[in-house]
Structure 1
């Protein structure tokens, strides 16, 4: 089966510590528990898309270490096509060091490892996967030049192109916007991209409209407990959040993006695809970890 969703991005091993609160600078803090789990925004989104109904291929890099083997195997176990997940000699796999507090907020340090060696040429070698895709998904945990090439190639091929601008530290290059069908930031990312404060629906709308002015096709701002705001040239629509008791927000955004991409690839109207992503993300925050928290399609409430 051809991959309807192709994810170009990062694979990380998440090293997760839970503590009552996040440590302050210079402080050593006793934690409550520790575990490792496959993660990385790219891999998380690939797993989410696969569990939520799409056939998926991943393009990315791991290191030549035990984590790399585990990360590749985790994707293969989900039925993700890993022919384009390359092993980079002499570097570590990507690692995310995550501390989660009692309020389910997290602080994360990321080491790029093999992700930093994913070049445009690396992606181009698997152009056949892009040609077969219906939806191409990117994030910002691999080199910007690679993201830029992939967005442009996706547009050239006439695919539906999704960019989750995470993690965002500032404005995107202006020439990227014309290649993006759906730009999906959260509040802090929308603020970083536009320089506008984003605290509620009205401010999220202003930021999204700025991104449309710069050339993005459509914008979905994910707002956590405030739901999601979809904004296009035709207007906007608010999708209220599902009420849940959150225990760990890690990978909630990735679950939304993967679920939305899967919905589009499965032929859903964009509003229905947003709802699929929201329902999956809501369920994911009731569970611990990144990929382990992502639900399957059969688990979603109708």
Structure 2
């Protein structure tokens, strides 16, 4: 599977805390570590470790953080189409509490400079089987990539995260929309049934439900539940990205059977990821996912 990811890369500073601080409150951390992250980077690594051939279109600063992220992505077997720009590499501050819940603040930095796709970037999208996108890079760039993929017959998976407005023409041109419950509700607006509202754009929709698994929906069809796995979570940072990257690597079509199969594979990858610290370091390998599923009798 040839997967192109267009998206963000951040250096994450992760603080372990007893509880997420309230407004105006100071809490003491019991540890701090730096990890590669960013939704695009996480998803690219997840797809590569799930067995896909991955190319990653990304903007990085001309700084030590950019050097580290580039080296670690290449170390994961990813072919980088990286721009070096005169802005600091993206960064994030993440608080993870004792229940493995997190709170995240992102500084886009170089990610905001990923605009006006080059010829080589457009060629990579056209040659891919699957294009994966998120919303941590400029929406006009996302829209441009979607148009190129649509014209070339490349399947498009859009993870509409973090929450934000998505142009209707983008939604109508993608193949699969992946959102969590909150993102689904925001995109669907006042609709009583977000799944029906979102599949009304003509795309398949995956709504992730955390520990409860996911729902798979197609236009004109009711949602199909896909269960997750009971595990002891350590850090939920990057779990959604583990899902999206693994899903893209396993996506063998857009009919219901193929979508459910890819979603089942992806829920396993996410269940493994939440048992580890950090975003990129938590992404499981194809062998790990297969062993986990075999142990579950799947």
- Scaled by the length of structure 1, what TM-score is found? 0.92
Partner residue, 1:200: none
Aligned to 1:72: 70
User: Does 2:53 align with 1:43?
Assistant: no
Q: In the alignment, what sits opposite 2:208?
A: 222
Q: 1:236 Cα deviation (Å)?
A: 2.3
* Aligned 8 A contact 1:5 1:265 in 2: no
Q: Size of the alignment, in residue pairs?
A: 288
State how far apart, in whole Å, the 2-side matches of 1:44 and 1:168 are. 17
Is 1:112 matched with 2:108? Answer: yes
Q: How far is the alpha carbon of 1:193 from its aligned partner?
A: 0.9
Number of the residue aligned with 1:186: 180
Mind listing any 5+ residue stretches in structure 2 that lack a counterpart?
A: none
8 Å contact 1:53–1:266 — kept in the other structure? no
TM-superposition CA deviations, 1:160-192 (whole Å, max 9, x none): 1000000013x4211111111000000111111
SS in 2 for 1:120: coil
Q: Structure 1 CA distance, aligned partners of 2:5 and 2:157?
A: 10
Cα distance, 1:235 vs structure 2: 3.3
Mapped contact 2:195–2:223 kept (Cα < 8 A): no
TM-superposed CA distance for 1:196, in Å, is 4.7
Per the alignment, residue 158 of structure 1 pairs with 153
Q: Specify the alignment match of 2:261 in structure 1.
A: 272
Moved more, 286-295 or 269-278: 269-278
- Give how far 1:97 is off: 0.7
User: Is 1:146 matched up with 2:141?
Assistant: yes
1:85, distance to aligned residue in structure 2 (A): 1.1
Tell me the CA shift for residue 269 of structure 1.
2.5
Q: 1:232 and 2:218 equivalent?
A: yes
Q: Paired residue for 1:86, among 83, 87, 99?
A: 83
1:195 shift after superposition: 2.5
Q: TM-score, normalised by structure 2?
A: 0.93
> Among residues 233, 250, 275, which one is paired with 1:286 in the alignment?
275
User: Is contact 2:176-2:205 (8 Å) kept?
Assistant: yes
Counterparts of 1:28 and 1:77, CA distance in 2 = 37
Q: CA RMSD in A?
A: 1.7
* CA pair 243-266 structure 1, distance change in 2 beyond 3 A: same
Q: In structure 1, how many angstroms separate the alpha carbons of the residues matched to 2:152 and 2:284? A: 31
Give me the whole-angstrom Cα distance separating, in 2, the residues matched to 1:52 and 1:76. 15
1:242-278 superposed Cα distances (whole Å, 9 cap, x missing partner) = 1111111000000000000000269993222111111
Structure 1 runs (4+) deviating above 3 angstroms are 265-268
